[in-house]
Amino acid sequence: MRAIKTLGTLAMLIAGAILLTPPELSAQKKRDLITREELQNSGQRDQDAYAAIRSLRPHFMAPPRGVHTMGGSAAAALVVYIDGMKSDLQALRTTPASEVVEVKYLEPAKAEEEYGITHNGGAIMVKTSKARG
């Protein structure tokens, strides 16, 4: 009987740990993602994409902290992709926020892992309603 109580308590602790984990993960995803709904519900929908991102997630535009490279060279600039095409921050100023479907931020380590050392300043991936497919 005592073993059954112990197993029941253990099962409840494991279930509690599992239930507590997803909100933390989803919070991290929300921190690195701006959705169309969020843009539409904010006061930024009439701005350009640059202003909207800067207002909703200022850390996307902040220079990376603690980035070290071999040889002491500086970290690369933030890279922007709009509908899969490599661009720069200036292109965000000419993209209306009303056309943005999703903005995803890749931290420097993740961007470098996915795209190579030229992306060690991070990356912003923008999908617009004008994207094909």
DSSP string, 4-54: HHHHHHHHHHHHHHHHHHHHHHHHHHHHTEEEHHHHHHSTTTTSBHHHHHH
In 3D space, the residue among 46, 42, 40, 33 whose CA is nearest the CA of residue 107 turns out to be: 33
3 belongs to a structural domain: yes
Mean pLDDT, the chain, whole residue set: 81
Neighbours of 114 (CB within 10 A): 10
pLDDT band, residue 24 (cuts 50/70/90)? very low
44 with 27, same domain? no
Q: Which domain holds residue 98?
A: 33-128
Q: Residue 118 maps to which CATH number?
A: 2.170.130.10
**How many structural domains are present in the chain?**
2
Q: What is the pLDDT of residue 21?
A: 53
Share of the chain above pLDDT 70, in %: 70
| Candidate from 30-44, 85-99, 119-133 with smallest mean pLDDT | 119-133
Share of the chain above pLDDT 90, in %: 45
133 belongs to a structural domain: no
Q: CB of 76 within 8 A of CB of 122?
A: no
